[in-house]
Structure 1
């Protein structure tokens, strides 16, 4: 479509038009004449359309006001007065993305959909939410989403409750969470970045209703907005809609929201903060050390990209010289880097985990001496080439782990647009990359290191150290504070708090009226595709190897997954399968040192990674197929080189470098430790599955809590058991990488396949050929009901069983049940009324089903909700429109857009699980035809599964001990 510069279209003046060749798009920048809104439209042929409206929202304290407001505006508005339009959209739209995000200086409200009618509906609800929220008429919204005093009667204790309050209690339970939040505080004492935009739980209860409303009045105006649209939509239709329905009602005003720049703080600033560990844990080797430096501005595209590459080069690969220097010195057991360029003044951080405070000076000296040595003697040019290549591959591939491309591009645009600069500077990377590639023949990166890191006058040393029982101490302080607060209240003031609690509960428990619900726009079932998308799979035999070819356009990239059967591994070595997935490709081979191997991988490929996956089998809850997967991607022209590298890794790896093996064990344990709390619901669910299914037990041994405990033992005893450990790794390696164990999945076009076939001999000739001895694992499953104790201030509560064991069959209607429970019954009971941050139902076609909560202040109360779910399902009765809404939301979930690599992996999973296209079509038909009666009929399945009482809770030590009668065993997970 041709539009004229400086011409007005539906109130929007076209200011600029740019060809963005890097993403095959045209960018048009507009200004809304009447309201002052800014709008960027990136047009292309992507049918996964994205809309976002963002506001510059600089916090003035750490009450979490921007974050609480982000939650609250989505709790009803002028046109859509239901309590939670956001949830109604999740339940009843074809969105491919729907969320809102709070950053340190901005708040974003993005949505995405492939359906044009649905896309307009999503825009409508979100625009009404941000400009006309119900927060002015309903103070209970702040109470629910932010915080409130909760008291049931005059004899009860007062408590703090609120969704964001509990969310941030969970965020501040993780030492990594504290670390990343305090880095900005240490560097930006005089600007908005010195405050916690998400909210510090100690400060959140200082937020008043007046401050809350005033923040919205100040910043949620079109003059302070950034509207982003992306995809193949009708640009004029969208501009017309936004203008006529919303922006035309506003007049331009001046809003002072500019983000001020922090002046350099001078000499290295040292800051120490504490985090809580359980009383039984040792404080030794549990300190984080972080050296943080401000690097220019996010509006410098060259620095923005160069430091992303430099962080990878120095700290993110096995060949990273700064990481190696710190590990060699024994400063800590894990080293990683972070380059945060989503703020005005980006920050480069070097982090050492599992260290001690008395090593802080040595830490700083090693970082600086290593960087000085690099400046003096130069970086390895192959390392530079490798890091540039892997970054360039990622940018050109534009594979964002299932997130819509437009969403990621929109976030990148805000990294300059928010600061009044060209919004697409970070999408136009070709010229910037050319400048950076001069590093291959110059001292480009060495100059950057010297200028921005070694000679910085804006750096901090952050020490995050453990303190036993700090969580309990703080909880007691809060109790005493609230006790004192109550003692200072009059009877009438206490009565007012009780009435406020009652009013909030009444609002939460009162269902929306049918009339209000019908205001939420809804497409018809006729707008939904009735047939599933076929995933192309052709099984071929090449040189005796089964190959699954998924032919599709991949932009000249070949995605190759090698699946090795691991049932050839002896029972006692199963945990070593998990360990091998973390080691392979990171140790020496017959030809390469592990550093040189890393460089070869990154120079020649788009990356190689390993993982262990367990595939169930259709029709059975007992049979499972564990696979060791070597995943890789490469430009088709470099396929022969990839296969040579894969052969080196899978056929010639060496496990005799004990120091290196120990480093990997420590790093792997550290990374799992980080994920246990951050993904606590997943940890708890998978632990319950280990009680009820052989596949769950296997998962626990290679990825779960049992694996974490295994790694902890290996790390503790490594020096005594080094020979045994290295020998067991080699035995496991030799058992897996055998020609008889392999199936290969490849996703690319036919020309790419031919090149793969012509070079397959490279790896085929290297694999072992002896006949493996396959094991039949006979696991003894125990009803454990573990309480996994941590110092966290919240819980992750899981209850699960296997419905096939009870005689129930799998049906696609379970997907609809998941939507109903996750966004209706559980949402209302566990999140809205209970104050948890998240909750949901999960299941698989092999029988496992689980209820779980996330950052939950409760424990036994949540289990009671699970146990009473069947009663809700027995009484479930909704009209046609509501049932249609649940079905549409379910289809949205199962129709998540897939990249070519994801399609290939899903097709492989169907193959191993013996799932056919007919099975998937039947599942879809069951979803589309689900009735309230079908939901009623699933009540027995849920009732019988919950009655088995298989539970696991990860959470606060004190809370778990208070409820010890529901557990068979209490485990201090980090001891």
Structure 2
């Protein structure tokens, strides 16, 4: 592409272009002359194209205005006046990413697609949404997405209802999230970072519709916009589209959206807060202690990178010295370190969980002593080199899981661009790495500690204490306030409020005009590929080992996985398999101390991880293969080192480090407790599936409530049980790591195969060669229907059953049913009308049907909605155009782009789950040929599955007690 600096292309002046070797791209910086809109384009060969339009949106209070607006602008626009254009796009586009994001100081609207036509369609809907939303004409959007007084009849009690209101009630139910928010509040009392851009539920209800509209008028203007393109698209076509359809209609404005700098504190601050726990939960060892430092500005990329690496050295490496010192002092049960570099003034934090307020002085003392010692004696050089290498490896690998790498680059660009600095600053990192490496011996990191941690008064010590009854107290205050509010309303005002509520309900229940729906662009069904992608998998033999090789280009990185058969382990030892996955790699081996092991991993590899996966047979859910997986990645020149380190970890691990074992058990318990509050829908999904599915019951033993009870028991009596735990861990490892029960899975270039397998032999030859009896586990199954009570302010509701057990066969049409239910019935009933943040419908090839809600203010109403699904499906009608949309949206979910590592893991997973290429193609064919009759026929399947009435709910204790007739058992999850 031959674009010239200072030339104007469709109203955009090219200010700068340069090659950015780190991301294999050319970066082009433009400015729109008429409006001042900024635009950056990363040109490369990636066909997964990304677009985003972002705005600098500093909050002025904690009403959550930026967050509510992010939701609201996607609820209809001038060109696309339907109620939910966002949902319409989910239904009928080939997007590889579609969402919106609220940050502390910006709001981003990103999309991605590999289809050129689809990419333009998505971009058009998003641009019209942000610049021409219906919020000016329809107050109901604000009432639905933000908050409103809900009153349907004069005799009813008034309630607060709103999607963001309930989402943030859920977020504020997680003590760790509350602590993180309070950290920002204490460090930045005079800037937008001290406010909650997502919204504090207690303050959200102060937001007025007028302020909401004024915020959009001020900030959602091209002059305050940051537009980003990535990939191999036609940039000239895209520039012309943006200019002609949108920006040309505006003139430049002077918009003050600048982020102010928080002036340094003259002395450190200390704050104490309370967070809620249930009335039955003990307050003992439930306090959070966190120390936090503001560290310079994000427009200094070299220091920013140095501080990111320093945080890894001190807190995030398994052998991090500050983390180690705090754990050994037994001040709490877990230590979490973080570096928040996505704001103007980055923050380093260290948090201790499950502690006591009385330990705060010891907490401060150990931090200061450890940091001073590191400055005086120096940080171990291998530890520094390891942290640098692992950070650089991950940047080069650019493996961001399900997020397109182009999106991550776009977020990285905003970390400097938003503050009027060079947008490519965080993409061009190689020189900064070289500078840091050259200055290691000039005490580079020790000087960072001295300047930004020890000699820095811009810091805070925050203490978050548990308080029983705080949820009830808050609920009572809200009820009292709403009762008083209602009493002071006149009859005319009450009738007005009832009318507003009923008008909103009518709006929510009224279908869009078909003519408006047809304005949403839809790809022709003919544009959809008929053939499913074939992941290459070569099944080979190496001695007695089954080798599963995915021969693909991996840029010189080898992805190697060792899968060991867990059924070698006796039933009572299953939880020890999960504990072993945490233990290995966090203790010493025959050759390496714990610290040396960590350094070797980070210097020579991209990481070695331990995982457990359960591969349920797609043809028979009663059959499943649980595997203990050792995953490693390394450049091919370090293969011998990779397998040598792996062998040390699994064959020559030491089972005598009592203090480390204690710390691992305590940390596991603390992190599991946080998972219950942050990802309750996942806990509920597996729990309800475990009532009838052996594979899910197995998962409960290693990663659910059953495992939590196991780990809690070990912690409570650790001193007496330590020797027994070590013996069982060692015995478990000896049963697992056996030559006769291993599968070797790898993803690498074809030409590297022999080199990889030759290196693997060095590990294989060290494994035991003994015949081991395989076990078939006999689990207690049943319809337990539990109500799991916590201090949460919201619920996670789940119902499930297996349709194969009812005599039905899996059919790809059920995936279209999933799309319809997720974007129509459940979305409208549970999210739009019920005010929950999310609702799910999932169906797997092994027959497991799960329906659930996320951050849901309701319980009985949601169960009733789920139970009535089949009626909606039975009477479902749609035009052919609408059916095509559902089919396209379903194909989009099936065609998720994958990284090389994901391709290797997926190919292996399909093989172990007995999913053939023919199965995948049949499913795709069934999706593409799905008819209305196929959807209606699914009503019977869904009805029978939900009629089995397998139910689990995690949520507020009072809500669950009020619905106790739904449950066989109600239990308090925490003591």
Q: TM-score scaled to structure 2, two decimals?
A: 0.99
Matches within 5 A, 1:268-283: 268-283=268-283
CA distance in 2, matches of 1:495, 1:400: 52
Q: CA deviation at 1:702?
A: 0.8
CA distance in 1, matches of 2:964, 2:927: 40
Contact 1:70 1:100 in 2 (8 A): yes
CA distance in 2, matches of 1:715, 1:321: 24
Matches within 5 A, 1:794-813: 794-813=794-813
Cα deviation, 1:472-519, whole Å, max 9, x if unaligned, reads 110111000100111111111111111010000000000111101000
Cα deviation, 1:503-553, whole Å, max 9, x if unaligned, reads 000000001111010000010111111101111111111122111111010
Cα deviation, 1:299-349, whole Å, max 9, x if unaligned, reads 110121111111111111221000000011111110011111111100110
Aligned to 2:690, the other structure's residue is in SS state helix
Aligned to 1:623, the other structure's residue is in SS state strand
Name the counterpart of 1:378.
378
Contact 1:313 1:320 in 2 (8 A): yes
Q: CA deviation at 1:675?
A: 1.6
Instruction: Give the aligned CA root-mean-square deviation in angstroms.
Output: 0.8
CA distance in 2, matches of 1:495, 1:647: 74
CA distance in 2, matches of 1:246, 1:378: 57
Name the counterpart of 2:545.
545
Contact 1:543 1:761 in 2 (8 A): no
CA distance in 2, matches of 1:761, 1:405: 34
Q: CA deviation at 1:759?
A: 1.9
Contact 2:38 2:225 in 1 (8 A): yes
Aligned to 2:561, the other structure's residue is in SS state strand
1:898 aligns with 2:892: no
1:944 aligns with 2:950: no
Name the counterpart of 2:165.
165
Contact 2:92 2:886 in 1 (8 A): yes
Matches within 5 A, 1:459-538: 459-538=459-538
Contact 1:684 1:952 in 2 (8 A): yes
CA distance in 1, matches of 2:863, 2:45: 48
CA distance in 2, matches of 1:531, 1:674: 42
Matches within 5 A, 1:807-846: 807-846=807-846
Q: CA deviation at 1:151?
A: 0.8
Tell me which stretches of 4 or more aligned residues in structure 1 moved more than 3 Å.
Answer: none
CA distance in 2, matches of 1:898, 1:307: 31
Aligned to 1:774, the other structure's residue is in SS state coil
Name the counterpart of 1:609.
609
CA distance in 2, matches of 1:801, 1:594: 45
Cα deviation, 1:606-629, whole Å, max 9, x if unaligned, reads 000011100011321211100001
CA distance in 2, matches of 1:437, 1:814: 55
CA distance in 2, matches of 1:905, 1:439: 39
CA distance in 2, matches of 1:174, 1:780: 32
Contact 1:786 1:951 in 2 (8 A): yes
CA distance in 2, matches of 1:410, 1:499: 44
1:854 aligns with 2:877: no
Q: CA deviation at 1:439?
A: 4.4
Contact 1:176 1:674 in 2 (8 A): yes
CA distance in 2, matches of 1:914, 1:166: 41
Matches within 5 A, 1:311-322: 311-322=311-322
Aligned to 2:281, the other structure's residue is in SS state coil
Aligned to 2:849, the other structure's residue is in SS state strand
Cα deviation, 1:887-939, whole Å, max 9, x if unaligned, reads 11111111110001100000101111121101100011011111111000100
Q: CA deviation at 1:154?
A: 0.8
CA distance in 2, matches of 1:401, 1:271: 37
Matches within 5 A, 1:324-363: 324-363=324-363
Name the counterpart of 1:405.
405
Matches within 5 A, 1:554-573: 554-573=554-573
Name the counterpart of 1:586.
586
Contact 1:152 1:498 in 2 (8 A): yes
Aligned to 2:259, the other structure's residue is in SS state coil
Contact 1:384 1:439 in 2 (8 A): no
Name the counterpart of 1:713.
713
Q: CA deviation at 1:846?
A: 1.1
CA distance in 2, matches of 1:693, 1:238: 50
Matches within 5 A, 1:112-511: 112-511=112-511
| Structure 1 unmatched runs, 5+ | none
Name the counterpart of 1:32.
32
Q: CA deviation at 1:442?
A: 2.9
Aligned to 1:960, the other structure's residue is in SS state helix
Q: CA deviation at 1:716?
A: 1.1
CA distance in 2, matches of 1:683, 1:297: 39
CA distance in 2, matches of 1:369, 1:282: 32
Contact 2:328 2:659 in 1 (8 A): no
Name the counterpart of 1:787.
787
Matches within 5 A, 1:532-931: 532-931=532-931
CA distance in 1, matches of 2:147, 2:19: 47
CA distance in 2, matches of 1:752, 1:314: 36
CA distance in 2, matches of 1:228, 1:654: 51
Q: CA deviation at 1:4?
A: 1.1
Structure 1 residues 263-272 or 853-862, which shifts more?
A: 263-272
Aligned to 1:779, the other structure's residue is in SS state coil
**Corresponding pairs, count:** 975
Contact 2:295 2:345 in 1 (8 A): yes
CA distance in 2, matches of 1:709, 1:220: 50
Aligned to 1:415, the other structure's residue is in SS state helix
CA distance in 1, matches of 2:948, 2:266: 62
Cα deviation, 1:374-407, whole Å, max 9, x if unaligned, reads 0000001111111111001000100001210110
CA distance in 2, matches of 1:600, 1:73: 50
Aligned to 2:660, the other structure's residue is in SS state helix
Contact 2:153 2:498 in 1 (8 A): yes
CA distance in 1, matches of 2:407, 2:677: 27
CA distance in 2, matches of 1:263, 1:172: 28
Q: Residues 197 and 512 from structure 1, CA distance in 2 versus in 1: closer, same or farther, beyond 3 angstroms?
A: same
Aligned to 1:243, the other structure's residue is in SS state helix
Cα deviation, 1:17-64, whole Å, max 9, x if unaligned, reads 111111110011001011111000110000000000000001000000
Q: CA deviation at 1:679?
A: 1.0
Contact 1:564 1:627 in 2 (8 A): yes
CA distance in 2, matches of 1:475, 1:752: 62
Contact 1:561 1:744 in 2 (8 A): yes
Aligned to 1:567, the other structure's residue is in SS state helix
CA distance in 1, matches of 2:562, 2:504: 55
CA distance in 1, matches of 2:801, 2:760: 43
Cα deviation, 1:443-496, whole Å, max 9, x if unaligned, reads 110000000110002101111110011111101110001001111111111111
Contact 1:557 1:636 in 2 (8 A): yes
Q: CA deviation at 1:780?
A: 2.2
CA distance in 2, matches of 1:885, 1:493: 44
Q: TM-score scaled to structure 1, two decimals?
A: 0.99
CA distance in 1, matches of 2:941, 2:370: 61
Contact 1:669 1:712 in 2 (8 A): yes
